[in-house]
Amino acid sequence: MLNVHEVIPPLTARLPTGDAIRAWDFKQKKNLVIAFLHSDCKACGSFLEQLALRALELAEAETVALAIFSKSPWSRILSPLPREILAAADTTGRSQLAYLEENVLGPAGQQRVGVFITDRYGELYAQWVGWEPESLPQADEVFVWLAQVEMACEEDGVSHWTAAA
């Protein structure tokens, strides 16, 4: 597993348009929810739907969700996703190996799922990794962690104390 409070490894995937997307595209701009999901999994689809229903909250938290699949999920995603959620595929498996550990890829493809929450600088705050899709967090838990990220970022910012007279 990755170490909390360390910078996440590189992540590159392809959007349906063929354009590359990288986690670093959002550095110093947006917090990230990075979800490695199975494209043919009901629980993974449900997780994505939960986030989509709360897209306004993602926007308010200045967060983008990157849903990363090991193979093209486009036929499984029936409705357009809100702009706060980007679905992409990393068919090389490099990102999955970096985030989900070495034994993540098997004969049937990606064996594990995982969700990672970072601040806008790429610092890891929370992670869930499991063999079963049911190990994915609920949306409420994701948003609790995003609130923690925002509080930590506010504390690291400029002090709001008034000068003594």
**pLDDT tens string 20-54:** 999 999 999 999 999 999 888 888 889 999 999 99
pTM for the model: 0.87
Q: If phi over 0 gives left and psi between -120 and 50 gives alpha, with beta otherwise, what is residue 153?
A: alpha
**Residue 108, amino acid:** A
**pLDDT tens string 144-159:** 999 999 888 665 544 3
Report phi then psi at 130, rounded to 5: -155, 165
In the three-class reduction of DSSP (H, G, I as helix; E, B as strand; rest coil), residue 84 is classed as coil
Q: Which CATH number fits domain 12-156: 3.40.50.620, 1.10.3720.10, 3.40.50.10860, 3.40.30.10?
A: 3.40.30.10
